């Protein structure tokens, strides 16, 4: 299994990411954590990321999970053929719903375990790989409900890594929220790993480590 879990963007280890992905530089980019934005703001963010990925040498395709809500069978062959998936940040709870409604929460772990896919994520896209979203409510509002979404909060992560991740640790704009997440994990006896912006948590086969 190959996971590249960043606090912010590519982080400081783009070369490591490229090495993990290999020669096939096609990337499916998931921006559903930003579905609470206006269509214009969301499209602008996708365009910004497209330019960023293309500058880094990747061939960019957006995968909008909303097109596959209640249609996991249509999404399945796309996921199984993907060499590289990147899930961007935003609201973790919105993103979790999108994963569930599309069946991506089952299709993705299966592909990661049985194909050579590399998964990359930043912030919310990284948090979702952990066991639980409890504690994340100190950073993200679980009651943000974009159009086409339901109110039920899903608290389980995908459970592909053991430590809970705390992105944007000691950052100017998210430091208080990150500290509150750490306090929650300490009180509840959960193993956690803090990530300053630039740092990444990597799973590459049998090697699992934080890169500073």
Contact 199, 212 (CB under 8 A): yes
Sign of torsion, CA 75 48 11 96?
negative
pLDDT at 92: 98
pLDDT of amino acid 193: 98
pLDDT value of position 207 = 94
The ranges of the chain with pLDDT < 70 are none
pLDDT of the residue at 181: 98
Residues 55, 56, 61, 64: is their CA dihedral positive or negative?
negative
196 Rama sector, left if φ>0, alpha if ψ -120 to 50, beta otherwise: beta
- Greatest alpha-carbon pair distance for the chain in Å reads 44
Per-residue pLDDT tens digits for 44-71: 999 999 999 999 999 999 999 999 999 9
Instruction: Look at residue 108 in the predicted model and tell me its pLDDT.
Output: 98
Each domain of the chain, given as residue ranges in start order, spans 2-163+196-211
The pLDDT of residue 185: 98
b/e map 177-205, b = 16+ CB within 10 Å: bbeebbebbeeeebebbbbbbebbbbbee
Question: For residues 142 and 180, what is the distance between their CA atoms, to the nearest angstrom?
Answer: 15
* Options 3.60.150.10, 3.40.50.300, 3.40.50.880, 3.40.30.10; CATH of 2-163+196-211: 3.40.50.880
Q: Where are the alpha helices (DSSP H) in the chain?
A: 14-21, 39-55, 72-80, 92-102, 104-114, 124-127, 175-187
* CA 79 – CA 184 distance, rounded (Å): 34
Q: How far is CA 40 from CA 37, 48, 92, 113, 145, in A?
A: 8, 12, 21, 36, 18
> Is 89 in contact with 124 (CB distance < 8 Å)?
yes
């Amino acid at each position: 299994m190959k996971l590249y879990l960043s606090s912010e963007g590519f982080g400081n280890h783009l070369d490591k990411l490229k090495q993990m992905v290999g020669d096939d530089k096609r990337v499916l980019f998931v921006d559903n954590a930003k579905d609470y934005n206006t269509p214009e703001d969301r499209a602008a963010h996708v365009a910004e990321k497209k330019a960023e990925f293309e500058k880094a040498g990747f061939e960019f395709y957006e995968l909008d999970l909303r097109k596959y809500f209640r249609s996991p069978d249509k999404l399945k062959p796309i996921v199984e053929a993907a060499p590289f998936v990147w899930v961007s940040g935003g609201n973790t709870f919105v993103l979790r719903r999108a994963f569930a409604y599309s069946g991506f929460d089952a299709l993705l772990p299966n592909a990661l375990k049985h194909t050579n896919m590399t998964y990359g994520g930043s912030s919310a896209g990284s948090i979702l790989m952990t066991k639980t979203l409890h504690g994340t409510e100190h950073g993200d509002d679980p009651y943000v409900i974009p159009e086409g979404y339901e109110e039920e909060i899903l608290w389980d992560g995908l459970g592909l890594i053991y430590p809970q991740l705390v992105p944007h640790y000691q950052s100017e704009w998210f430091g208080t929220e990150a500290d509150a997440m750490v306090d929650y994990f300490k009180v509840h006896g959960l193993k956690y790993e803090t990530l300053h912006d630039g740092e990444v948590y990597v799973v590459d086969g049998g090697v699992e480590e934080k890169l500073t």
